[in-house]
């Protein structure tokens, strides 16, 4: 029998008493609770965003409108109920002024009602499902939405005279979102999606699906897969010889994620992607961002996650500046609506109606410059709103 364990348990219960003393100081710093997946399969999302947020603070100081800004980073390991609990604790115990981060859609969905109840702004820096901003009037997004990017890829494909396309998406929320958008927009523009294939999220061996594509002989294939497995997708695309048979590979830019693009090698050259950010975006601001990011993080290249985090911090800073240090949730949200600024990705703004981001969408192809691979932008769609809401 292990009855003795009971005493141990009682001691453990009692010891929590020591762990939880409230930490409310009078100097009133402005705290930002950043909840990210720092471990598990989506850890790199968390790393990019945290690094970018810290870079923003290093570049712009940690004082806004007379208040000292503090960043509290928490790991939710991309488990939704943990995200929600951490957010709740940050609001209740740490008295944060803003919660931010949210690596995946369900994590943001779980927390949105909380933002409403607590009247605390939630800045979504990564999750990309269209409907997130409709879940609470306190949600603001600085990443992108899947339909925003996908609809422009579909428009462009139709404009290039492509008629038959097969879609291959990972079988989860964002993938299905992309599939739906592509089918609708491409169909409306006169094209035809002959087959829609869905790949299980677990065990991403794409070969059977790509074989189906090869058999269907379309003009192009539209792919949406999580950024980590994009490299495998393109390698197997080339391995099947699909690039030789003239099938174009169109994809959401996550597939040529800047973070790991360099390791992908030549197969990446096959992809034409649409996206809102490329580390190769041609602007002074972006060059400085990429250089500073790399020097602060051991040569790491910022990706779309990083720019979402960076701009999220800007939105918070700018709103606090505008309210003159008033950190009530309503004031901050009101201040964030309609903000417009120049980001490393180009000009962006927060739609005052939907609190969603309005930004340029670029079409890019991968090119080798020196010994490095970059996403080179060759066409721009300006100030794109999320079609999931505007219906445009």
Site residues for another protein, 100-139, by CB under 8 A, read: 105-106, 109-110, 113-114, 117-118, 129, 131, 135
143-172 binders of another protein (CB under 8 A): 171-172
250-289 binders of another protein (CB under 8 A): 259-260, 263-266
Angle (nearest 5°) at CA 68 between 65 and 71: 125
47 contributes a contact to another protein by CB under 8 A: yes
Considering only 57, 85, 189, 294, the residue that binds another protein (CB under 8 A) is: 85
Q: Which of 49, 123, 116, 35 is nearest to 83 (CA)?
A: 35
173 contributes a contact to another protein by CB under 8 A: yes
Considering only 63, 81, 192, 282, the residue that binds another protein (CB under 8 A) is: 81
Nearer to another protein, 197 or 315 (CB): 197
**Shortest approach of another protein to residue 76 CB, angstroms?**
9
Rounded Cα gap, residues 187 and 204, in angstroms: 28
**Shortest approach of another protein to residue 325 CB, angstroms?**
24
* Helix, strand, or coil (residue 287): helix
Considering only 14, 25, 370, 371, the residue that binds another protein (CB under 8 A) is: 14
Rounded Cα gap, residues 170 and 178, in angstroms: 10
**Shortest approach of another protein to residue 218 CB, angstroms?**
16
Considering only 52, 64, 178, 231, the residue that binds another protein (CB under 8 A) is: 231
Binding-residue total with another protein (CB under 8 A): 89
38 contributes a contact to another protein by CB under 8 A: yes
245 contributes a contact to another protein by CB under 8 A: no
Angle (nearest 5°) at CA 112 between 41 and 353: 115
Rounded Cα gap, residues 257 and 253, in angstroms: 7
Nearer to another protein, 5 or 328 (CB): 5
- Cβ-based burial of 146 (10 A; exposed 0-12, middle 13-18, buried ≥19): buried
Considering only 8, 58, 285, 291, the residue that binds another protein (CB under 8 A) is: 8
Rounded Cα gap, residues 283 and 311, in angstroms: 16
Nearer to another protein, 227 or 323 (CB): 227
Q: What are residue 195's DSSP bridge partners?
A: 166
Which structure tokens are listed for 111? 């927390």
57 contributes a contact to another protein by CB under 8 A: no
> Which residues, 6 or more positions from 308, have their beta carbon under 8 angstroms from its beta carbon?
49, 52, 125, 126, 142, 143, 144
73 contributes a contact to another protein by CB under 8 A: yes
Rounded Cα gap, residues 260 and 373, in angstroms: 10
Which structure tokens are listed for 107? 């994590």
**Shortest approach of another protein to residue 244 CB, angstroms?**
8
- Cβ-based burial of 277 (10 A; exposed 0-12, middle 13-18, buried ≥19): buried
61 conformational bin, left if phi > 0, alpha if psi -120 to 50, beta if neither: left
Which span sits near another protein by CB under 8 A: 7-15, 55-63, 279-287, 370-378? 7-15
3-state helix, strand, coil in the chain (%, to 5): 45, 25, 30
**Shortest approach of another protein to residue 349 CB, angstroms?**
26
241 contributes a contact to another protein by CB under 8 A: yes
**Shortest approach of another protein to residue 81 CB, angstroms?**
5
Q: Spell out, one character per residue from 199 to 218, where the chain touches another protein: x when CB under 8 A holds, - when not.
A: xxxxxxx-xxx-xx------
300 secondary structure, DSSP code: P
* Helix, strand, or coil (residue 35): strand
**Shortest approach of another protein to residue 96 CB, angstroms?**
13
186 contributes a contact to another protein by CB under 8 A: no
């Amino acid at each position: 029998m292990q009855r003795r364990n009971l005493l141990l348990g009682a001691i453990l219960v009692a010891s929590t008493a020591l762990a939880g003393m409230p930490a409310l100081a009078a100097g009133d710093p402005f705290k930002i609770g950043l909840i990210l997946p720092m471990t598990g399969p989506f850890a790199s999302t968390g790393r990019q965003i945290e690094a970018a947020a810290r870079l923003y603070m290093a570049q712009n100081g940690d004082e806004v409108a007379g208040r000292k800004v503090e960043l509290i980073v928490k790991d939710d390991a991309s488990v939704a109920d943990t995200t929600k609990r951490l957010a709740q604790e940050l609001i209740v115990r740490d008295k944060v002024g803003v919660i931010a981060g949210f690596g995946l859609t369900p994590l943001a969905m779980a927390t949105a009602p909380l933002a409403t109840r607590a009247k605390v702004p939630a800045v979504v820096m990564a999750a990309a499902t269209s409907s997130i901003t409709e879940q609470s009037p306190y949600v603001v997004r600085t990443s992108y939405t899947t339909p925003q990017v996908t609809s422009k890829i579909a428009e462009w494909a139709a404009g290039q005279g492509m008629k038959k396309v097969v879609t291959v998406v990972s079988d989860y929320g964002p993938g299905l979102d992309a599939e739906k958008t592509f089918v609708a927009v491409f169909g409306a523009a006169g094209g035809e999606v002959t087959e829609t294939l869905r790949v299980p999220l677990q065990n991403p061996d794409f070969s059977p699906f790509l074989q189906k594509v090869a058999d269907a002989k379309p003009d192009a294939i539209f792919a949406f897969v999580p950024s980590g497995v994009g490299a495998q997708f393109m390698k197997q695309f080339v391995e099947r010889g699909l690039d030789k048979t003239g099938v174009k590979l169109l994809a959401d830019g996550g597939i040529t994620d800047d973070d790991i693009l360099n390791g992908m090698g030549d197969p990446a050259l096959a992809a034409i992607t649409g996206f809102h950010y490329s580390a190769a975006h041609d602007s002074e601001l972006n060059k400085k961002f990429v250089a500073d990011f790399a020097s602060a993080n051991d040569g790491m290249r910022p990706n779309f996650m990083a720019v979402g985090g960076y701009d999220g911090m800007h939105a918070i800073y700018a709103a606090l500046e505008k309210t003159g240090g008033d950190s009530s949730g309503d004031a901050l949200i009101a201040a964030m609506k309609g903000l417009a600024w120049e980001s490393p990705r180009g000009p962006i703004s927060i739609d005052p109606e939907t609190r969603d981001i309005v930004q340029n969408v670029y079409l890019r192809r991968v090119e080798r410059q020196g010994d490095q691979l970059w996403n080179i932008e060759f066409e721009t769609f300006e100030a794109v709103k999320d079609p999931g809401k505007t219906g445009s």
